[in-house]
Amino acid sequence: MSLTHTFQTEAHQLFDQLVAWRRDFHRHPELGFQEIRTATVVAEHLRSLGLEVTTGVGKTGVVAVVEADTLPPDAPTVLVRFDMDALPIQEENELPYRSQTPGVMHACGHDGHTAIGMGVAQLLNQHRNQLAGRVKLVFQPAEEGLGGAQAMIAEGVLAPPTPQASFGIHLWSRLPLNTLVIQPGPLMAGADRVDLVVNGVGGHGAMPHETVDAVVVASQIVLAWQTIVSRNIDPTTPTVITVGSFHAGTICNVIAARAELSCSIRSFDIAVRDQLVHRMRAVAEGVCAAYGATCELIFSPAVLPTINSEAGAALMRKVGTQLVGASQIATIPPAMVGEDMSEFLMRAPGCYALVGASDPAGPLHSPHHSPTFDFDERMLPTAVALLASTAATYLADPTTR
């Protein structure tokens, strides 16, 4: 029996345990950088396997390395990443394992990811003497927009043994159960922030000729920015500029001296992202100059695009095909959401896959980040086997690198 099929069998034998872990995390959700209980449960499990565990990496991250008892010094290292954080959402599900913490909920499935990571650790450790290298298991805090991956990288998660490749999954409630999305190239977008302050001249609402109205100028900028995506960017290149917040003024009869805009911009390419920022600045400054206002634009890079390597996707696809069959491997148009797995993929190229978690025979599941989100737990063993096998195959077969 191949190691992949051994992992598949053992992952299914672990099903009840995976569900118990997942439901425990679901009952006790913790927000980004506050995953103290979650990290403690993970670290205790890893230590119970006999692994050496590092905690507090990027505040609440947990890291352990699984390796054979004897390895050559030049043995390869592969990173597998699991995110652990919940969201500030009040759960509306009436489930026996519903959140016990008011206003906090695992509404993205990271409870499942954490349980999957514990299963991957257990299976790989059981077969560590069949590994041809090291597997660095990374339990990451704060994926939901708070920079958990960057925090772990800043605190040395990629230090020796330095991984040459990285892999991960997101369970996906809108994809049929155990269908796998595995594709080379872009999967998710880079997401960055642009803030703009427009400075005009305030005054009486009845004497506009003595003012420079920041509301009017900022409104022109919001509309002019919409032409960047439609008129400046190649129409075959997906991009988004969303002005998510617009604040100005205090009362109806006072002309505002200042307006503040806050925007999310999305793209799949750093050169395109830079083009968006360059045009946003030029348009804002040009509009301000025309009306006698001034402005200050601040660009804050946040999340890189999630891009899978050819080799990483081919390897994961091969393993996935052995697990679920070619008919259950799919591709999707890249999504404009952001995901900080990109931080690992940019430094250690590999693949991020989606694992279908919707019951095809069940009711339509709620989308991710909704107060009624839930997923089909029968995806858990598939994800465990996929990640354990991908890591082991990467180490064993130099042609996959």
Active site residues: 85, 143
Distance of alpha carbon 38 from alpha carbon 83, whole angstroms: 11
Q: Which is nearer to Zn ion, 62 or 108 (CB)?
A: 108
Q: Which is nearer to Zn ion, 108 or 283 (CB)?
A: 108
Provide the b/e sequence for 24-50 (b: ≥16 CB within 10 Å): bbbbbbbbbbbbeebbebbbebbeebe
Name the H helices within 85-174.
Answer: 110-126, 148-154
Distance of alpha carbon 294 from alpha carbon 352, whole angstroms: 43
Q: Which is nearer to Zn ion, 105 or 293 (CB)?
A: 105
Supply the minimum distance, in Å, between the C-beta of residue 145 and Zn ion. Answer: 9
Supply the minimum distance, in Å, between the C-beta of residue 82 and Zn ion. Answer: 11
Q: Which is nearer to Zn ion, 134 or 170 (CB)?
A: 170
Distance of alpha carbon 401 from alpha carbon 349, whole angstroms: 10
Q: Is 191 one of the binding residues for Zn ion (CB under 5 A)?
A: no
Q: Which is nearer to Zn ion, 108 or 265 (CB)?
A: 108
Tell me the window of 108-116, 221-229, 278-286, 289-297 that interacts with Zn ion (CB under 5 A): 108-116
Q: Is 188 one of the binding residues for Zn ion (CB under 5 A)?
A: no
Residues contacting residue 208 through CB under 8 Å, at least 6 positions apart = 255
The amino acid that residue 191 corresponds to is A
The amino acid that residue 85 corresponds to is D
Q: Is 108 one of the binding residues for Zn ion (CB under 5 A)?
A: yes
Residue closest to Zn ion (Cβ): 108
The amino acid that residue 199 corresponds to is N
Strand 203-204, strand 351-358: pairing? unpaired
Supply the minimum distance, in Å, between the C-beta of residue 295 and Zn ion. Answer: 33
Q: Which is nearer to Zn ion, 156 or 367 (CB)?
A: 367
Q: Identify residues 214-233 at the interface with Zn ion (CB under 5 A).
A: none
At 189, give phi and psi (nearest 5°): -85, 160
Residue 78's DSSP bridge partners are 135, 165
Number of residues that bind Zn ion (CB under 5 A): 1
Q: Identify residues 369-398 at the interface with Zn ion (CB under 5 A).
A: none
Distance of alpha carbon 135 from alpha carbon 77, whole angstroms: 6
Residues 224, 180: contact at Cβ < 8 Å?
no
Tokens describing residue 216:
């009017």
Distance of alpha carbon 394 from alpha carbon 376, whole angstroms: 28
Supply the minimum distance, in Å, between the C-beta of residue 245 and Zn ion. Answer: 20
Supply the minimum distance, in Å, between the C-beta of residue 337 and Zn ion. Answer: 8
Supply the minimum distance, in Å, between the C-beta of residue 58 and Zn ion. Answer: 17
Q: Which stretches of the chain bind Zn ion, using CB under 5 A?
A: 108
